Structure 1
Amino acid sequence: MPSGVLGIFNKLLTSLTTSSGKLSAITEAPPTEDQNFRTEVINAEPKHVEGLGGAPPRRLIVIDGSSRRLGSLSFRVFIAGVAIYGLRPPIELYPGLGGAPQVRFLAVKAPSEDVLRRIEEDGELGGFVMVKSHDGKYFVGDYNEDDISDEVRMGLETWALDKVHSELGRAGSEYAVVVDGPTYLGLGEKGGLAMRRVSAIGRLEGLGVPVIGVVKRVENSRKLCSDEVLSEFGLLDTINPRHCSDPLVIQSIGSGRVRGSSTQ
């Protein structure tokens, strides 16, 4: 039986030597068209924060995942890891170099389902290796490789959210959780992954733990640029949708809602 994470990885590579056929060359995924997303204001009357008041400070727990890809003409392997900062111990990494609970931190893409099914049915590898999406689609053929990276990395981050939930218990109201990326995902067909994340966030919020998503590199995003959103915030006359971006919308909303602003 393999010992630790390195043993699992070696066993996986050995099993992949039976993979026959070829995968197509790695290509860049086409950019997501923001126009395919519909952004709606949840409440009829928007609520805006004008001050933080005197609420006691919360202790922060930060969850950050990462993934990498390697492989050959006959298979690809995707490796993910996650770090939890601020829990007990102060920094917790998964996977570590020693023994590890069965959490799927690896994913495999192959030319056909045969190899993937053997991995899935292996009593040990099946607990550490993803071979299909959260919606049940096997990673074969032309399955988008960026989507596979998302599946394994965000699946691991969701496991981390649940771990935080189980360890905080009634002490949750003293904490807030920060995650890398949006709290709620616009992932098109990846509904299973998105719902797992929503459920994990909901369990934390049920303990009184707010979950905050930190989103970077949004300068080219236009998900907030629909006429409906601009109209809801009274920005149709001040922002040209043809030259709109999410940061511009957020900045405009903020400048009009701060305490003492003359525009509201």
Structure 2
Amino acid sequence: MSKIKVLIIDDEPPARDLVKHYLKDFPALEIAGECENGFEALKAIQELKPQLIFLDIQMPKINGFELLELLTDPPPIIFTTAYDEFAIRAFEMNAVDYLLKPFSASRFRQAVERALLRIEDKGDLTTKPVTDLKRQFEETPGEIDRVVARLGSRIVVIPVDTIYYIEAQDDYVMICSSLGNHLKEKTMKYFESHLPRNGFIRIHRSHIVNISQIVSVDLYGKDTHLVVLKSGARLKASAEGYKRLRELL
């Protein structure tokens, strides 16, 4: 029987070493690789195709949550985190296991055994727990100051103040910024509720605009206006969107 490939993602070498030390007690698991940041991790996941991931949450460049957003078909994930008990309860509710640093060998064994049960369950290898955690993360209140997007194995970190506008495109959104145009699997509702309220406004069901990018608002039809941006983009504003603009501007 082939061994189960494991990937360890943590920016702290001692933390990675501890996981490797504990994994010696599991001959069925093989360490396929280790990464110190999310940029390395995304490439390693694509190339190594691990069946189990140990993922730290608090990392520089991009954190564990942001990496999670970029994974379309993730394997079972065991989080290693220093988050407080409230966040831990949220992970537990979604059946995604976690290890609260510093963790013991017995707690590590418990987490691995849970993951192995999921991996060995031939009837259901669903990623629903990870999907549920993504959804819960999206619904957590709070403004964002950057957006992480991917193009193949390349990760782009987009500061929100560089965004010109966001456009709905089926199940994705197109983020148009000074860094280029990038597709992201998110909803317009997510961005409407998480972008800074004093910096962005939804002018149409298909468009959210950076207020600082607006040059003019021109009449286009009976109930429609065109919002002209510094970039040269011309976006339609609905009657409701125009009303919001008037109240704001």
Q: TM-score range by the shorter chain?
A: under 0.3
TM-score by length of 1: 0.25
Normalized per residue, the structure richer in strand is 2
Choose between structure 1 and 2 for higher RCO, CA contacts under 8 A separated by at least 6 residues.
1
